[in-house]
Structure 1
């Protein structure tokens, strides 16, 4: 496997790198940030595809030639080194040209009897069809080998005189069934469901030397299940150093800063920098402009800009990857319908100073959670009384809970997204909010984990908390660990909140806020 480090743009031969000029146009990185290959190949058909595309009037960028070279590498026996190829690159960078070059090679040089091309929306496939037809029409040597351009609805494609075919397939549960393909190309693979995969992927199983090509942009959540599987295989390969035996994966993206990044972090990327735009977009300088591309951040906002232009995707995980830290069975076994904090007088009124509350929210601030913890039968009971969209409701609801329960403390991580609520909370509640230090965050996670293992924790099995646990994983924090999300779109704020609430039962609590403190 070629390592990621050896494939960065710094390692390119001079002729493969766009011209550098301080006063001229800027060019995007011609090599992917994430790259894994199945192994060392002896040859590649990629140059044949590049040369044929050139004859047809299609001049390819360096990054497009790189994709074809690596994706069409061959083993010693002449078979594909990578039977599966995935290209993950933001929109408008020119991935369509890669598809066109690969199709032309398969039809006119590679001897592939049948190529299937599909996209999420058939209009995308139709546009690709028109571009391929124009390339063929503009090259007499290719045009004379075409028997017919089929344009009848449901039978769209290209048929050569020798029987080779390119078929354009609408994506559905039954599309492609009954075909046998040498190559299947999935365009817009960030929207590729299991129904389409089960219908189209097996069409290549009966061909000795077949290929599946996946091309798309950053994942958009649950619709990106197949791309998530491919990406995970790449990351697993890079982390373990063991090459995936059949996959070539190439991704242009940035590694965006995370909520836990400290100021001055150099491991991750800023979404507002030109360097990030260039790293994620190989088409800058060819078909994308720096200023216009960066202005899209104003149009779309940070989240959409990061996804659509910088390749920061949302990738779901298969069910087998859930409950990584605490097993589902262990968690469910702690559910007790009659459990509640032992924090009430015989008349049912709350006992002041017995329970603690905590607040947390995810980095995108889409939701917020309020949790409570209190003693119960020698252990601790935790609940999530509130988990709602947004955060505008939090302070008022906290005030209501505070007046009723008079807890010993409220816990909020000052360095986390909910930290911005602390001044308003202290004003509304008249207390000093407890903010755990880094070592205390790690301690709180360890204490929560130990309580689950020791079965000294109870809960009512609220759905938000179970969902958070299913989607949580560990991140290193010094020599210990803290909670981390498995991926974008996973909200673990209920879990973080109950962890802090439990920790707050024994935390040191400062005196109430002096009203004069808020004047200065």
Structure 2
């Protein structure tokens, strides 16, 4: 038995702090546990509890938990539960299609390899006929096909905006901290029909969200799970109560807290490793999240001046601009993404908003802007002097994209670098165009998501701007706002006595 620094025995807890689920009359859990043992997968008692609840059934013979979530720190053994669940689905329950999704390709491949070893063990034990399980692969996935029944398992790495390809009898959402609302919204309708003809289930496995601005699906699940009243959700959260903003109230160095949040302590995780390595080497917030499974405080957008209903009214997937254009450039505050947007005029006089590029990193920005400038001859390329994109101004200067020598006589293609006051004006122009129905956008998901997750900040004298702090990833929104300002200030298209639905 391991001991704490005080010499007291320490062993991981068997039950999570929050464990809510609907009532049930029976479970396939015992059979699934026995099958896993035959394959050489021996589940800890807490893992057996989780699997039993996942496979619990009601009087109608269907799963009582249509959704199951296990929220737990790394290296405790979440994946073993999922592996046992998949074996049960293939061998005991006859589930036709099991989808296992992960955030990263390497995770999906690792899980694929481990499951292959378990199938080999079942063949050697005589549970499966030799050669019955065949490795299969396709566009974007690796998996297995059971020849005798036609059952399939697919391992898929989630991509941005994906979700529609995940539909199956069972869908496992591994690394759910990176699972997006868009993916969830695409998945749920595809699963609905299976509730009539089958016995579907969605399983989420994850540590807490990386920060308060992401993990929207997990936060929503937590709210449902902690209520204890959801009729079809299994919610198991091993994390300590509290949040990452108030760690002064939590004893991070307490072996009792380590045990409460890590059921594998004394089995796969040692007290010595936590004490001598993780606790000393990691930041307090990192240790609290990764080892004690403490959640960050969720940051919710409070709703801006453009309602979802209004934004939908402005959507026109066939929108086309004619004549002059201006570009806006923005980089996300964490620098993981950058965006280029265009603003122009349509044939009917309305503004046209469009995202030209939205991609990871910043290395591609300058080269892309050079090509766009040469091809489209914009009236200006706008960048916020106080934003993250200010870092590329020097690189743009080196390739000949500069601020005008005479501010009163700018040349086409010059930089338009904003001041704080300019950002307030840009925000006002963008919002006014939307509210007055004077613009159309092409209903691009990344722009709509940015607007939905944006907050507004005060910048003095009653002016406002988009707020990076507390917002989601809003580089697309900032870019199109800057492009709107650049078109207005550089092309001088503002018409004082124009039609009432313009400006």
TM-score range, shorter chain: 0.5 to 0.7
Distance, in Å, in 2 between the alignment partners of 1:186 and 1:203 is 15
Q: Which residue of 1 aligns with 2:240?
A: 254
Q: Is the counterpart of residue 103 in structure 1 residue 86 in structure 2? A: yes
Structure 1 residue 210: deviation in Å?
0.4
Instruction: Determine helix, strand or coil for the equivalent of 2:164.
Output: coil
TM-score under structure 1 length normalisation: 0.54
TM-score under structure 2 length normalisation: 0.56
Distance, in Å, in 1 between the alignment partners of 2:170 and 2:82 is 11
Instruction: Determine helix, strand or coil for the equivalent of 1:115.
Output: strand
Change (3 A) 1:274 1:177: same
- Partner deviation per Cα, 1:385-410 (whole Å, 9 max, x = no partner): xxx9xxxxxxxxxxxxxxxxxxxxxx
Gaps of at least 5 residues in structure 2 are 307-386, 388-459, 473-503
For the 8 Å contact 1:254–1:276, the answer to whether it is kept is yes
Distance, in Å, in 1 between the alignment partners of 2:210 and 2:19 is 21
Q: Which residue of 2 aligns with 1:172?
A: 159
Instruction: Determine helix, strand or coil for the equivalent of 1:226.
Output: helix
Change (3 A) 1:123 1:201: farther
- Partner deviation per Cα, 1:426-469 (whole Å, 9 max, x = no partner): xxxxxxxxxxxxxxxxxxxxxxxxxxxxxxxx97366699978x
Which of 274, 277, 280 pairs up with 1:293? 274
Aligned ranges for residues 275-294 of structure 1 at < 5 Å? 275-294=256-275
For the 8 Å contact 1:184–1:204, the answer to whether it is kept is no
Q: Is the counterpart of residue 232 in structure 1 residue 223 in structure 2? A: yes
Which of 42, 53, 58 pairs up with 1:59? 42
Q: Is the counterpart of residue 313 in structure 1 residue 295 in structure 2? A: yes
Distance, in Å, in 1 between the alignment partners of 2:138 and 2:179 is 25
Structure 1 residue 204: deviation in Å?
2.4
Q: Which residue of 2 aligns with 1:214?
A: 204
Structure 1 residue 105: deviation in Å?
0.3
Aligned ranges for residues 112-123 of structure 1 at < 5 Å? 112-123=95-106
Number of equivalences:
312
Distance, in Å, in 2 between the alignment partners of 1:306 and 1:277 is 10
Distance, in Å, in 2 between the alignment partners of 1:261 and 1:310 is 11
Q: Which residue of 2 aligns with 1:32?
A: 16
Structure 1 residue 259: deviation in Å?
7.4
Aligned ranges for residues 459-498 of structure 1 at < 5 Å? 460=462
Structure 1 residue 312: deviation in Å?
1.1
For the 8 Å contact 1:269–1:276, the answer to whether it is kept is no
Change (3 A) 1:193 1:260: closer
Distance, in Å, in 2 between the alignment partners of 1:94 and 1:172 is 25
- Partner deviation per Cα, 1:353-392 (whole Å, 9 max, x = no partner): xxxxxxxxxxxxxxxxxxxxxxxxxxxxxxxxxxx9xxxx
For the 8 Å contact 1:201–1:212, the answer to whether it is kept is no
Structure 1 residue 152: deviation in Å?
5.7
Distance, in Å, in 2 between the alignment partners of 1:132 and 1:260 is 40
Q: Which residue of 2 aligns with 1:204?
A: 191
Structure 1 residue 246: deviation in Å?
1.6
